[in-house]
Chains A and B, each alone.
Chain A
Amino acid sequence: MLAMSNITDYLKPILLRLGSMSLAITLLTVLALASVIGTVLLQNQDQADYLQQFGPIWYWVFRSLGLFDMYHTWWFLSLLGFLMLSLSTCLWRNVPRFLKEMRSSKVALSDSAMKHMKHSRHWELKGGSAENVLLTAKKRLKDWRIREEQRGDVSYIRADKGKYHKWGYICVHSAMLVILIGGWMSVQFGFRGNMSVPEGGKESEITFLKGTSTEYMKMPFEVRCNEFSIDFYPNGMPKEFKSNLTVIDGGKEVMTSDIIVNEPLYYKGVRIYQASFGDGGSNIRLKLLKLDGSGDIGSAEAKVYTTFKDEATGVSLEMTDFRPHNVENMAELGKAKDFQDMGPSVDFVMRGPGLKPVKIRSFMDAFELDGENRGNFMQVSFSGNTKEFESMALGLDMSNPQEWELLQRFIIHLAEADLNNKQKANMQAFKAAMDDVFGKGKRPDNFQAMAMRVLQAVQVIPRLPWPYIPVLDDYDQKYYTGLQLAEDPGMNVVWVGSALLVMGLCIMLYVSHRKLWLIVRRKGNDVSISFVGLSNRNPLNFDREFNEILSSMDDDMQQLKKGDAV
């Protein structure tokens, strides 16, 4: 017994502190400040990036504080836990009191309480009837909740409006508790992860980040991607990402449906979202334009994400990405925009003996400017970073093998020509090359443009340090669709809490508890009347409301005075 009361003695101040307002404010402030960190510091990035960005010491400090996945650290979650504890204590302490207050409120009003009220008015009726006054007043206050009490020769009328506004506090605070509980349920019993499914492929495993490590989870069903497609606006911006999915459960196809962003699929409590996409291993064929002087054109075939290895030269091409469209704004800065699709491209890294590794984006189609064929081009990045791509015009239209042959012949004839007169040498060499390729004296229709391209190419191509130029020749495209799968048993709890929160806020902020008292005192034949009012909020509106009632009351009293006089 003694021990028990001791414990409560100890607990009481702690509980008081926990449910106190200052703690609530402190918690809200600390929570707000802590949340800022996570918005400034990008969350869940690659660890190597962090290390590079902050250096080893700060990286270690931040990492041990969990700042790279801040919102799931023990300390942030305990802050939320603390908030829940504080909310519960606050509710536990105040709800019974509020309920009691709402149920029982005194009708009678002491004189000292009356003196403190800002809104008050007094009337004296000589020889008036108290009953008439009470009757008229009750008629006036018919929209209000009225209760009466008689104490000796004093009658009290108490009128209330918005008496139940305290439900607002209760709703808001329990709503936040419900939302936090829902959030906890989501984290505890739900999951959220990603899966990539290539077109035609199946997948049943999701991956997700837990702290800094990647974890896997098996779904109770498989997802097959039948097709992924992108719909474009006329200006080349993506309009719609669409996956056609089939859910396979226990070996049986149970459902086939399209999903797009904003319209997920729902199966067995799991939502399947369209989250991303990428190349799902397209078949790529490259032309290899050999630079060994033979003029041969080889070919290489590989899937994206695999490496083509050329045994003869020891050169390898690692295919990293393929894009069917490359829409770029071709207009000069400040001019009206002009979007053009540059056509398909493939990204690969070229490595080989004596070669610096280089990242190349090779385009299939020749580049057209002002209606003129300017030949193929590629983008080259020596750092391997796609942001540092530099454009390199090859000059030749590689779709026409005769142009490649032309260049070869041109180079040979140029070497034989007299180098003293460059213009003349070029001219002669080109004529000879033309004769070689197209037959003596024969010329194709647009040979002038071809000449321009060859002259451009001869500036660039012989200087390339590579054994050959790989140019995208053909492709068989295959996307993968990036899906996000999530189950969230706490979500509905959160919605219930949210509804309660908004409702509670509206009651709390818009319903004010207004109280009016009419105190009628009989003094012999005379009646003395006091009318006072009080509102817990919105004094500006209450001023007006009170004054309106007051002026009508005043009229009533004048009437009564006259009536009694007659």
Chain B
Amino acid sequence: MTAVAESNGLWENMYQGRTAFVRYWAYIGLMLGAAGLAIFGGDGYTESNYIFQLVGQDGLMWLGTGALLGAGLAIGYSFLRAEAGQGWIPQMMVPWFDGAALMVTLMALLTLLEPSAAMVSYEDQTNLFAGHVVMTMNVLFLFSAICYMVYLFAPASFIGGMATAAAWGAVYAGGSALLLRWYESYLFMDGEIGHAPVSNIYEVFILLFCITTIIYLQWEKRYEAKAMGAFVMALVASGVFFGIWLDSVGQAEIKPLVPALQSYWMKIHVPLNFVGYGSFAVACGAGMAYLVRQWLEVRNSKMLAVFPSLEQLDQLAYKSVAVGFPAFTLATILGAAWAAEAWGGYWSWDPKETWALIVWLVYGAYLHVRISHGWHGRTLAWWTVIGFLVTVFCFLGVNMYLAGLHSYGRLS
């Protein structure tokens, strides 16, 4: 709330009223243009070709036309109907679109730093630039986590600001690194193995960090819950160490997709699942903050001043679950739809599926006791923490310890 009030006029205008409305439709037009290119452009959609069409002349034409058409229609409409700029959807969506556009731009700039084709090969991927960007992300996440923790003891707005800035920086580094990996996957073997960067544990870990952080930063912005950052970012930081370890044992390599993963479903099912996992991680962070605050209250600690109230933390944990649960449900359903196409049945009681069901039941029960029984507070805070442990087992433990149809997520 205050963040909006502090910003200056021009900036504010970008996200309000007619400007937001026009920009929103320009983005929609851009996306429709991309879809049009996929369906009607060139010789039809082929995955390996599409990326290059997008960045080529065809892409400029289709996307540009879409965006201009969208913007033009929106301008026209806004003159006909004065209330056109009042809707909340454009105001809500435009910042997200801007963020995505920035991330793509960043990735496009990073491709300029990529070594020449002669310098990279499938066998030796150490030259690829995305690794450096991921390392930048790691450093920023760790720095951010440290700042958030320092903030608990020295709540200076400078430290808090640095923590938030580093977290955003890490999100952009991570997101653009993933996009860059997507591009890099086309660099060798004549582009034959190119695929979306959600195909192994290393890649989805980066995705998880970014999604978790984005969700947390939304809460921070809206509810001024900065002290919670120490807990959420501590989780992310521990994940970062795991990611560094994965890299060190060669799990970061870009590998071809096994036939079972060659499906557009992968691009939908996997990221959506991680929206679920990420929210559960934030819920866990809020739950931990709740428990710590209770512990501090007994000791009447000085740190209490920076902590959000118990009620607020309780609410934020619930909010995170409320974001994650439908996303996770949808992801599981779409996973079932994929399974129906690839494995001969929508449900096979594969360990991953079963554990997804268990996670679903855990958070389903959480929502039950909260909504219908009116439970609050300590028990539910523990519930979010334990629920997240179950979640971690679902997305990591199952791959490491249990065999099954999802075995391509295994550490090899």
Contacts and interface: CB of A to CB of B under 8 A. Distances in A.
A266 to B, nearest CB: 11
A509 interface: yes
Given A338-B123, A505-B329, A261 B259 contact: yes
B15 interface: no
Interface string A267-287: 000010101000000000000
Contacts of B150: none
A273 B343 contact: yes
Q: Which of B193, B260, B349, B372 has the most A CB atoms < 10 Å from its CB?
A: B349
Nearest to B334: A498
Nearest to A499: B333
A484 B325 CA distance: 33
B369 A25 contact: yes
Q: Which of B262, B263, B354 has the most A CB atoms < 10 Å from its CB?
A: B354
Contacts of A382: none
B403 to A, nearest CB: 7
Contacts, number: 128
A25 B365 contact: yes
Contact of B123 (A233, A337, A494): A337
Contacts of B330: 502
Interface residues of B, number: 56
A234 B188 CA distance: 10
B259 A238 contact: yes
Secondary structure of the B contact surface, majority rule: helix
Given A488-B345, A506-B326, A509-B326, A35 B357 contact: yes
A238 B259 CA distance: 7
A543 to B, nearest CB: 10
B60 interface: no
B110 interface: no
A299 interface: no
Given A28-B365, A235-B256, A498-B333, A71 B349 contact: yes
A241 interface: yes
Contacts of A21: 368-369, 372-373
A240 B358 contact: no
A71 B357 CA distance: 13
B408 to A, nearest CB: 11
Contact of A262 (B341, B354, B372): B341
A182 to B, nearest CB: 9
A275 B260 CA distance: 10
A192 B344 contact: yes
A183 to B, nearest CB: 7
B48 to A, nearest CB: 12
Nearest to B264: A262
A42 B403 contact: yes
B275 to A, nearest CB: 13
A234 B223 contact: no
Interface string A506-536: 1011100000000000000000000000000
Given A24-B368, A25-B368, A38-B349, A233 B329 contact: no
B213 to A, nearest CB: 21
Nearest to B341: A262
Q: Which of A336, A338, A484 has the most B CB atoms < 10 Å from its CB?
A: A336
A261 B262 contact: yes
Interface string B252-265: 00011011101101
Contacts of B124: 336
Q: Which of A43, A240, A262, A501 has the most B CB atoms < 10 Å from its CB?
A: A262
A198 B223 CA distance: 64
9 contacts: A21-B368, A25-B365, A32-B357, A35-B358, A183-B347, A240-B262, A273-B342, A495-B337, A502-B333
Given A234-B189, A261-B262, 9 more contacts: A21-B368, A21-B373, A233-B256, A237-B256, A238-B258, A262-B263, A273-B342, A491-B340, A502-B329
